[in-house]
Protein backbone atom coordinates (compact mmCIF):
# COMPACT_ATOMS: atom_id res chain seq x y z
CA UNK A 1 0.00 0.00 0.00
CA UNK A 2 1.48 3.32 -1.11
CA UNK A 3 0.07 4.97 2.00
CA UNK A 4 3.31 6.10 3.57
CA UNK A 5 6.97 6.37 2.92
CA UNK A 6 8.75 3.76 5.01
CA UNK A 7 10.99 5.91 7.19
CA UNK A 8 12.66 5.62 10.57
CA UNK A 9 13.87 8.00 13.20
CA UNK A 10 16.40 10.61 12.13
CA UNK A 11 19.93 9.24 11.87
CA UNK A 12 18.82 5.61 11.52
CA UNK A 13 18.81 3.53 8.34
CA UNK A 14 15.84 1.34 7.53
CA UNK A 15 17.79 -0.71 4.99
CA UNK A 16 21.36 -1.99 4.74
CA UNK A 17 23.67 -1.87 1.73
CA UNK A 18 23.98 -5.65 1.63
CA UNK A 19 20.18 -5.98 1.31
CA UNK A 20 20.21 -4.23 -2.06
CA UNK A 21 20.39 -6.34 -5.22
CA UNK A 22 23.08 -4.36 -7.06
CA UNK A 23 22.94 -6.67 -10.08
CA UNK A 24 19.31 -5.73 -10.64
CA UNK A 25 20.27 -2.10 -10.05
CA UNK A 26 22.86 -2.29 -12.83
CA UNK A 27 20.12 -3.38 -15.25
CA UNK A 28 18.51 0.00 -14.52
CA UNK A 29 21.72 1.90 -15.18
CA UNK A 30 22.29 2.45 -11.45
CA UNK A 31 25.23 1.63 -9.20
CA UNK A 32 26.31 2.32 -5.63
CA UNK A 33 28.88 4.84 -6.88
CA UNK A 34 26.33 6.69 -8.99
CA UNK A 35 23.78 6.87 -6.17
CA UNK A 36 26.48 8.21 -3.84
CA UNK A 37 27.58 10.79 -6.40
CA UNK A 38 23.99 11.99 -6.75
CA UNK A 39 23.66 12.22 -2.94
CA UNK A 40 20.58 9.96 -2.92
CA UNK A 41 21.95 6.74 -1.42
CA UNK A 42 21.58 7.83 2.23
CA UNK A 43 17.96 9.04 1.83
CA UNK A 44 17.11 5.73 0.12
CA UNK A 45 18.62 3.71 2.98
CA UNK A 46 16.58 5.80 5.45
CA UNK A 47 13.40 4.86 3.58
CA UNK A 48 12.76 8.12 1.74
CA UNK A 49 11.96 8.72 -1.90
CA UNK A 50 14.53 10.69 -3.85
CA UNK A 51 13.84 14.43 -3.80
CA UNK A 52 14.50 14.71 -7.51
CA UNK A 53 13.82 12.77 -10.68
CA UNK A 54 16.50 10.23 -11.58
CA UNK A 55 17.19 9.04 -15.16
CA UNK A 56 16.56 5.28 -15.31
CA UNK A 57 17.17 2.81 -18.14
CA UNK A 58 14.96 -0.29 -18.24
CA UNK A 59 16.79 -3.05 -20.14
CA UNK A 60 14.09 -5.56 -21.07
CA UNK A 61 16.34 -7.68 -23.26
CA UNK A 62 14.51 -7.16 -26.53
CA UNK A 63 13.95 -3.46 -25.89
CA UNK A 64 15.24 -0.59 -23.79
CA UNK A 65 13.09 2.09 -22.15
CA UNK A 66 14.42 5.33 -20.70
CA UNK A 67 12.50 7.42 -18.21
CA UNK A 68 12.82 9.90 -15.36
CA UNK A 69 11.42 8.76 -12.01
CA UNK A 70 11.64 9.17 -8.27
CA UNK A 71 13.10 6.12 -6.56
CA UNK A 72 12.56 4.42 -3.20
CA UNK A 73 13.45 1.14 -1.52
CA UNK A 74 10.69 -1.20 -0.35
CA UNK A 75 10.76 -4.50 1.56
CA UNK A 76 8.72 -7.42 0.24
CA UNK A 77 6.96 -9.89 2.54
CA UNK A 78 9.91 -12.29 2.32
CA UNK A 79 12.26 -9.52 3.49
CA UNK A 80 13.83 -8.91 0.10
CA UNK A 81 14.54 -5.23 -0.59
CA UNK A 82 13.54 -4.04 -4.05
CA UNK A 83 13.71 -0.72 -5.87
CA UNK A 84 10.38 1.04 -6.45
CA UNK A 85 10.24 3.24 -9.54
CA UNK A 86 7.77 6.14 -9.28
CA UNK A 87 7.31 7.21 -12.89
CA UNK A 88 5.77 10.44 -14.11
CA UNK A 89 2.02 10.30 -14.71
CA UNK A 90 0.22 12.56 -17.14
CA UNK A 91 -2.28 13.52 -14.43
CA UNK A 92 -3.38 12.35 -10.95
CA UNK A 93 -5.79 9.39 -11.02
CA UNK A 94 -8.68 11.15 -9.28
CA UNK A 95 -11.47 9.40 -11.18
CA UNK A 96 -10.78 6.05 -9.52
CA UNK A 97 -11.06 4.90 -5.91
CA UNK A 98 -7.88 5.27 -3.89
CA UNK A 99 -7.62 2.45 -1.33
CA UNK A 100 -11.38 2.49 -0.94
CA UNK A 101 -11.78 6.28 -0.91
CA UNK A 102 -13.84 7.92 -3.64
CA UNK A 103 -12.83 11.54 -4.24
CA UNK A 104 -15.51 14.19 -3.96
CA UNK A 105 -15.54 17.30 -6.17
CA UNK A 106 -14.11 19.30 -3.27
CA UNK A 107 -11.36 16.70 -2.78
CA UNK A 108 -10.40 16.93 -6.45
CA UNK A 109 -10.46 20.74 -6.46
CA UNK A 110 -8.23 20.94 -3.39
CA UNK A 111 -5.74 18.39 -4.73
CA UNK A 112 -5.47 20.09 -8.11
CA UNK A 113 -5.24 23.57 -6.57
CA UNK A 114 -2.47 23.13 -4.01
CA UNK A 115 -1.60 19.43 -3.98
CA UNK A 116 -3.27 18.60 -0.63
CA UNK A 117 -6.78 17.20 -0.10
CA UNK A 118 -7.31 19.06 3.16
CA UNK A 119 -9.01 16.46 5.35
CA UNK A 120 -8.56 13.06 7.02
CA UNK A 121 -10.22 10.04 5.39
CA UNK A 122 -10.27 6.31 6.15
CA UNK A 123 -8.23 4.23 3.72
CA UNK A 124 -8.31 0.44 3.54
CA UNK A 125 -5.19 -1.69 3.30
CA UNK A 126 -6.09 -4.20 0.53
CA UNK A 127 -3.87 -6.93 2.02
CA UNK A 128 -4.89 -6.76 5.67
CA UNK A 129 -8.25 -4.99 5.49
CA UNK A 130 -6.99 -2.54 8.12
CA UNK A 131 -8.69 0.86 8.20
CA UNK A 132 -6.09 3.64 8.29
CA UNK A 133 -7.03 7.31 8.94
CA UNK A 134 -4.84 9.23 6.49
CA UNK A 135 -4.27 12.49 4.65
CA UNK A 136 -3.65 12.57 0.88
CA UNK A 137 -1.38 14.75 -1.27
CA UNK A 138 -0.08 14.74 -4.84
CA UNK A 139 3.58 14.18 -5.62
CA UNK A 140 4.18 17.33 -7.67
CA UNK A 141 7.08 15.75 -9.58
CA UNK A 142 5.27 12.60 -10.72
CA UNK A 143 1.52 13.29 -10.15
CA UNK A 144 1.37 10.16 -7.97
CA UNK A 145 -1.18 10.12 -5.14
CA UNK A 146 0.52 9.79 -1.75
CA UNK A 147 -1.22 9.03 1.56
CA UNK A 148 0.20 9.33 5.05
CA UNK A 149 -1.40 7.81 8.15
CA UNK A 150 -2.26 10.44 10.75
CA UNK A 151 -0.18 8.73 13.44
CA UNK A 152 2.94 9.73 11.49
CA UNK A 153 2.05 13.41 11.22
CA UNK A 154 4.37 15.56 13.32
CA UNK A 155 3.51 19.24 13.79
CA UNK A 156 6.28 21.63 14.91
CA UNK A 157 5.82 23.84 17.97
CA UNK A 158 6.87 26.93 16.05
CA UNK A 159 6.75 28.11 12.43
CA UNK A 160 8.87 31.10 11.41
CA UNK A 161 8.71 32.73 14.83
CA UNK A 162 5.02 31.96 15.45
CA UNK A 163 4.37 29.57 18.35
CA UNK A 164 1.43 27.31 17.58
CA UNK A 165 -1.31 26.73 20.15
CA UNK A 166 -3.15 23.42 20.55
CA UNK A 167 -6.01 24.48 18.29
CA UNK A 168 -3.65 25.44 15.47
CA UNK A 169 -1.77 22.15 15.82
CA UNK A 170 -5.05 20.23 15.63
CA UNK A 171 -6.02 22.04 12.43
CA UNK A 172 -2.71 21.11 10.79
CA UNK A 173 -2.79 17.51 12.03
CA UNK A 174 -6.21 17.13 10.38
CA UNK A 175 -4.67 18.10 7.04
CA UNK A 176 -6.45 21.46 6.91
CA UNK A 177 -4.79 24.73 5.80
CA UNK A 178 -3.96 27.32 8.48
CA UNK A 179 -3.42 31.05 7.85
CA UNK A 180 -0.63 32.61 9.92
CA UNK A 181 0.24 36.29 10.27
CA UNK A 182 3.44 37.94 11.43
CA UNK A 183 5.91 35.23 10.46
CA UNK A 184 9.53 36.31 9.98
CA UNK A 185 11.43 35.37 6.82
CA UNK A 186 15.12 34.47 6.60
CA UNK A 187 15.79 38.08 5.62
CA UNK A 188 14.10 39.29 8.81
CA UNK A 189 11.00 40.60 7.04
CA UNK A 190 7.45 39.90 8.32
CA UNK A 191 5.07 38.02 6.04
CA UNK A 192 1.70 36.26 6.08
CA UNK A 193 0.84 32.94 4.44
CA UNK A 194 -1.27 29.81 4.68
CA UNK A 195 0.46 26.59 5.75
CA UNK A 196 -0.59 22.96 5.40
CA UNK A 197 0.88 19.52 6.09
CA UNK A 198 1.95 17.71 2.92
CA UNK A 199 1.72 13.90 2.95
CA UNK A 200 4.43 13.48 0.31
CA UNK A 201 6.97 15.91 1.78
CA UNK A 202 6.03 14.91 5.34
CA UNK A 203 6.26 18.44 6.68
CA UNK A 204 4.27 21.67 6.93
CA UNK A 205 4.61 23.60 3.67
CA UNK A 206 3.65 27.14 2.67
CA UNK A 207 0.72 27.80 0.34
CA UNK A 208 0.79 30.94 -1.75
CA UNK A 209 -1.83 33.15 -3.32
CA UNK A 210 -0.26 33.75 -6.73
CA UNK A 211 -3.02 36.18 -7.65
CA UNK A 212 -2.14 38.70 -4.93
CA UNK A 213 1.26 40.24 -5.50
CA UNK A 214 0.83 42.64 -2.59
CA UNK A 215 1.14 39.91 0.01
CA UNK A 216 4.65 39.23 1.27
CA UNK A 217 5.29 35.51 1.07
CA UNK A 218 8.21 33.18 1.30
CA UNK A 219 8.38 30.07 -0.86
CA UNK A 220 9.88 27.70 1.66
CA UNK A 221 7.88 24.79 0.26
CA UNK A 222 10.00 24.90 -2.93
CA UNK A 223 13.72 24.89 -2.24
CA UNK A 224 16.45 24.87 -4.85
CA UNK A 225 18.53 21.66 -4.86
CA UNK A 226 22.21 22.07 -3.95
CA UNK A 227 23.29 19.46 -6.49
CA UNK A 228 22.41 18.77 -10.12
CA UNK A 229 22.83 15.29 -11.59
CA UNK A 230 25.31 14.40 -8.88
CA UNK A 231 27.36 17.60 -9.21
CA UNK A 232 27.50 19.73 -6.05
CA UNK A 233 27.10 23.47 -6.65
CA UNK A 234 29.60 25.72 -4.93
CA UNK A 235 28.41 28.63 -2.77
CA UNK A 236 28.56 31.23 -5.53
CA UNK A 237 26.74 28.97 -8.00
CA UNK A 238 24.02 28.03 -5.51
CA UNK A 239 23.35 31.66 -4.53
CA UNK A 240 22.71 32.58 -8.17
CA UNK A 241 20.88 29.33 -8.91
CA UNK A 242 18.35 29.63 -6.07
CA UNK A 243 17.51 33.17 -7.21
CA UNK A 244 16.53 31.86 -10.63
CA UNK A 245 19.68 32.96 -12.46
CA UNK A 246 21.33 30.78 -15.11
CA UNK A 247 24.45 28.96 -13.86
CA UNK A 248 27.18 27.23 -15.88
CA UNK A 249 28.01 23.73 -14.59
CA UNK A 250 30.90 21.55 -15.75
CA UNK A 251 32.02 18.06 -14.79
CA UNK A 252 28.61 16.41 -15.29
CA UNK A 253 28.67 12.71 -16.14
CA UNK A 254 26.40 10.92 -18.59
CA UNK A 255 25.36 7.26 -18.26
CA UNK A 256 28.56 6.13 -19.98
CA UNK A 257 30.74 8.14 -17.60
CA UNK A 258 31.61 10.75 -20.22
CA UNK A 259 31.90 14.34 -18.99
CA UNK A 260 29.71 17.12 -20.33
CA UNK A 261 28.72 20.62 -19.30
CA UNK A 262 25.82 23.01 -19.69
CA UNK A 263 23.61 25.68 -18.17
CA UNK A 264 20.95 25.18 -15.47
CA UNK A 265 18.15 27.49 -14.36
CA UNK A 266 15.89 27.03 -11.33
CA UNK A 267 12.18 27.84 -11.72
CA UNK A 268 11.08 29.13 -8.31
CA UNK A 269 7.39 28.75 -9.21
CA UNK A 270 7.47 25.08 -10.20
CA UNK A 271 10.60 23.96 -8.35
CA UNK A 272 11.96 22.38 -11.53
CA UNK A 273 15.47 22.74 -12.94
CA UNK A 274 15.92 23.49 -16.63
CA UNK A 275 19.03 22.32 -18.50
CA UNK A 276 20.51 23.56 -21.76
CA UNK A 277 23.80 22.90 -23.53
CA UNK A 278 23.74 26.52 -24.75
CA UNK A 279 23.42 29.61 -22.58
CA UNK A 280 19.68 30.49 -22.74
CA UNK A 281 20.50 34.14 -22.07
CA UNK A 282 22.75 34.27 -25.16
CA UNK A 283 20.04 32.58 -27.19
CA UNK A 284 17.58 35.28 -26.12
CA UNK A 285 20.03 37.98 -27.18
CA UNK A 286 20.46 36.36 -30.59
CA UNK A 287 16.70 36.19 -30.97
CA UNK A 288 16.39 39.96 -30.47
CA UNK A 289 16.68 41.85 -33.81
CA UNK A 290 19.38 44.52 -34.11
CA UNK A 291 18.35 48.18 -34.28
CA UNK A 292 18.74 48.34 -38.07
CA UNK A 293 16.68 45.15 -38.40
CA UNK A 294 13.99 46.61 -36.14
CA UNK A 295 13.80 49.63 -38.47
CA UNK A 296 13.56 47.37 -41.50
CA UNK A 297 10.73 45.34 -39.91
CA UNK A 298 8.91 48.48 -38.78
CA UNK A 299 9.07 50.10 -42.23
CA UNK A 300 8.57 47.08 -44.49
CA UNK A 301 6.19 44.94 -42.38
CA UNK A 302 4.40 47.23 -39.97
CA UNK A 303 3.88 50.23 -42.25
CA UNK A 304 5.75 52.60 -39.94
CA UNK A 305 8.13 55.38 -41.05
CA UNK A 306 11.28 57.04 -39.88
CA UNK A 307 12.76 60.39 -40.84
CA UNK A 308 15.22 58.89 -43.33
CA UNK A 309 12.64 56.86 -45.26
CA UNK A 310 9.27 58.55 -44.96
CA UNK A 311 9.17 59.73 -48.61
CA UNK A 312 10.62 56.53 -50.10
CA UNK A 313 8.19 54.05 -51.60
CA UNK A 314 10.82 51.32 -52.16
CA UNK A 315 11.29 48.67 -49.49
CA UNK A 316 14.37 48.82 -47.27
CA UNK A 317 16.89 46.02 -47.48
CA UNK A 318 18.54 44.34 -44.52
CA UNK A 319 20.75 46.59 -42.33
CA UNK A 320 19.49 49.75 -44.06
CA UNK A 321 17.94 52.57 -42.05
CA UNK A 322 18.34 55.23 -44.79
CA UNK A 323 17.62 55.40 -48.56
CA UNK A 324 20.00 53.13 -50.45
CA UNK A 325 20.02 54.71 -53.94
CA UNK A 326 20.46 58.24 -55.21
CA UNK A 327 16.93 57.97 -56.57
CA UNK A 328 15.57 57.26 -53.11
CA UNK A 329 17.64 60.15 -51.74
CA UNK A 330 16.31 62.53 -54.38
CA UNK A 331 12.76 61.47 -53.59
CA UNK A 332 13.44 62.05 -49.91
CA UNK A 333 14.97 65.53 -50.40
CA UNK A 334 12.71 66.70 -53.24
CA UNK A 335 9.73 68.65 -51.86
CA UNK A 336 6.27 67.81 -53.14
CA UNK A 337 4.87 70.21 -55.75
CA UNK A 338 1.65 71.87 -54.73
CA UNK A 339 -0.98 71.97 -57.44
CA UNK A 340 -2.97 75.14 -57.98
CA UNK A 341 -6.66 74.81 -57.50
CA UNK A 342 -7.46 77.95 -59.56
CA UNK A 343 -9.23 78.07 -62.96
CA UNK A 344 -7.34 77.83 -66.23
CA UNK A 345 -7.34 81.09 -68.10
Query: Could you tell me the pLDDT band of residue 310, with boundaries at 50, 70 and 90?
Result: low
* Of 111-115, 185-189, 300-304, the least confident: 300-304
User: Strand order of the sheet with strand 145-149?
Assistant: 121-124, 131-138, 145-149
Of all residues in the chain, what percent carry a pLDDT higher than 70? 73
DSSP H helices in 115-196: 166-173
Average pLDDT, the chain: 79
| Nearest in space to 307 (alpha carbons), one of 299, 315, 317 | 299
CA dihedral for 158, 160, 165, 171, sign (positive or negative): negative
Question: CB pairs under 8 A, 24+ apart, for 232-237?
Answer: 232/39
pLDDT by residue (tens digit) across 201-225?
999 999 864 334 333 334 334 567 7
**At residue 93, does pLDDT exceed 90?**
yes
CA distance 163 to 97: 38
* Per-residue model confidence (pLDDT) at position 170: 94
* Per-residue model confidence (pLDDT) at position 268: 75
The radius of gyration of the chain's CA atoms, rounded to the nearest angstrom, is: 30
Say if residues 49 and 71 touch (Cβ distance below 8 Å).
yes
Query: Could you tell me the pLDDT band of residue 297, with boundaries at 50, 70 and 90?
Result: very low
CA distance 225 to 50: 12
User: Strand order of the sheet with strand 190-198?
Assistant: 178-184, 190-198, 203-207
Question: In the chain, count of helices (H) and strands (E)?
Answer: 9, 16
When mean pLDDT is compared over 7-11, 84-88, 228-232, 311-315, the highest value belongs to 84-88
Q: Where do the structural domains in the chain lie, given as residue ranges? A: 17-87, 105-207, 227-278, 289-333
Of all residues in the chain, what percent carry a pLDDT higher than 90? 37
Query: Could you tell me the pLDDT band of residue 278, with boundaries at 50, 70 and 90?
Result: confident
Q: What is the value of pTM for the model shown? A: 0.56
**At residue 125, does pLDDT exceed 60?**
yes
pLDDT by residue (tens digit) across 279-293?
887 766 655 555 554
Q: Between 345 and 56, where is the model more confident?
A: 56
CA distance 231 to 1: 34
What are phi and psi for residue 241, nearest 5 degrees? -60, -45
* Of 123-132, 176-185, 222-231, the least confident: 222-231
* Per-residue model confidence (pLDDT) at position 305: 53
Amino acid sequence: MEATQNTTEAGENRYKLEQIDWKSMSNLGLSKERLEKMNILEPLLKGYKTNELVPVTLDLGTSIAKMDARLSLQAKEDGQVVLAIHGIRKEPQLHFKFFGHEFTKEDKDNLLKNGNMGRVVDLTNPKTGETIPSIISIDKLTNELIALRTTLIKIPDEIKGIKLDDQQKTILSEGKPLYLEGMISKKGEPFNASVQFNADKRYVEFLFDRGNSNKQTEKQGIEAPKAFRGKELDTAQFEKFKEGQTVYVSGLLDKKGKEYQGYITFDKDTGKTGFSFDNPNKLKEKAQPKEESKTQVAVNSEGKTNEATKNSKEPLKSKKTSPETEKQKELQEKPKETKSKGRKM
